[in-house]
Amino acid sequence: MAWFKRKEKGIQTATENKKDVPKGLWYKSPTGKIIDADELAKNFYVSPEDDYHVRIGSNEYFSILFDEGKYKELDKNLTSKDPLGFEDTKKYVDRLKDAEAKTGLKDAVRTAVGKSFGKDLVIAAMDFKFIGGSMGSVVGEKIARAADYSLKNNVPLVIISKSGGARMMEAALSLMQLAKTSAKLAQLAEAKIPYISLCTDPTTGGTTASFAMLGDINISEPGALIGFAGPRVVRDTTGQELPEDFQTAEFLKEHGFLDFITHRKELKKNINLYIDLILNQAIRN
């Protein structure tokens, strides 16, 4: 079968002659399942063969949870300052500029109000691709203002966490956002307005130590990573072998920190079902 044999060894095609599949046409899940991008969007960004919940951002969650994907964005022009003149290997101001150029986002959270099953709902959804979904002053302020909107208009609040933690480049100011957001949630609790915390992959650090764990219900999606200290830090500090499911949504539910885990296609239904039940109103769908 000599005609099957490669004449020259290795790949000879020059880089510029490589035929690329345009980016975003296909998606490959961690188990290797491949799916067409349009199909994936139709399937709530869940890989149909292995049920892998792809990491998505505010845009996708808004389109899943608001009726016909229609909503009014709140405080969309809030942007970060660099109060400390922070510089590591890169200037914080440059990081912000790059992140904005790369993602088209202003910061790591977007807040919006819209109808979900016909009734108003306020949603704050974090974007991991903006500096790891880190929480600085803007994230804190936008979440606080979203909660204010809920308070003023008596509308339930959903926060969709997706964050590596507090934003180091704002140091203690970012730490104080834990207190700021928690104070607002305390006011929401006093006013008996339901607050649903959806922890998505990943929810770690400062978000876990504040709003992500403070919902009237805390819920998640299958397989999401949720924890305070990251798994590497825990392994390095304790030298212990960690269980395979360590800090997964399933692990947290088993240890009593999540009310339930929902498949993304049931997300809208389950959030609204909870709201209707806790407020003792007719069930919508």
Partner 1 sequence: MEYLEFEQPIKELEEQLQKCSLIGEESDVDVTNTCKQIEKKLKETKKEIYKNLTPWQRVQLSRHPNRPYTLDYIKALCGDTFLELHGDRNVKDDKAMIGGLGKIGDQSFMLIGQQKGYNTKTRQYRNFGMANPEGYRKALRLMKSAEKFGIPVVCFIDTPGAYPGLEAEERGQGEAIARNILEMTRLKVPITVVIIGEGASGGALGIGVGDKVLMLENTWYSVISPESCSSILWRSWEFKEQAAEALKLTAKDMKKQKIIDEIVKEPLGGAHSDREATFSTIKEEILKAYNEFKNLSPKDLVEKRMDKYSNMGVFKG
Instruction: Give me the residues that bind partner 1 (CB under 8 A), please.
Output: 75, 77-81, 83-84, 86-89, 136-138, 140-141, 144, 166-168, 170-180, 182-187, 190, 205-206, 208-214, 227-229, 233-234, 237-238, 240, 242, 246-247, 251, 255-257
Phi, psi of 77 (to 5 degrees): -100, 10
On whether the CB atoms of residues 236 and 230 are closer than 8 A, the answer is no
In whole angstroms, the minimum distance from the beta carbon of 209 to partner 1 comes to 4
Kind plus residue range of the DSSP H or E element containing 199:
strand 195-204
In whole angstroms, the minimum distance from the beta carbon of 135 to partner 1 comes to 10
Q: What angle do CA 148, 150, 153 make, to 5 degrees?
A: 105
The DSSP-derived string for 126-185 is E-TTTGGG-B-HHHHHHHHHHHHHHHHHT--EEEEEEESSB-GGGHHHHHHHHHHHHHHH
Kind plus residue range of the DSSP H or E element containing 269:
helix 267-278
**C-beta closer to partner 1: residue 116 or 205:** 205
In whole angstroms, the minimum distance from the beta carbon of 72 to partner 1 comes to 17
**C-beta closer to partner 1: residue 9 or 232:** 232
On whether the CB atoms of residues 209 and 228 are closer than 8 A, the answer is yes
26 beta partners: 36
In whole angstroms, the minimum distance from the beta carbon of 139 to partner 1 comes to 9
**C-beta closer to partner 1: residue 186 or 283:** 186
Query: Residue type for 166, please?
Result: A
For residue 269, the Cα-to-chain-centroid distance in whole angstroms is 19
The DSSP-derived string for 227-268 is ESS-HHHHHHHH-PPPPTTTTBHHHHHHTT--SEE--GGGHH
**C-beta closer to partner 1: residue 80 or 150:** 80
3-state DSSP assignment of residue 117: coil
In whole angstroms, the minimum distance from the beta carbon of 106 to partner 1 comes to 9
**C-beta closer to partner 1: residue 12 or 77:** 77
114 beta partners: 121
In whole angstroms, the minimum distance from the beta carbon of 3 to partner 1 comes to 51
In whole angstroms, the minimum distance from the beta carbon of 75 to partner 1 comes to 8
Tokens encoding 119: 């009734």
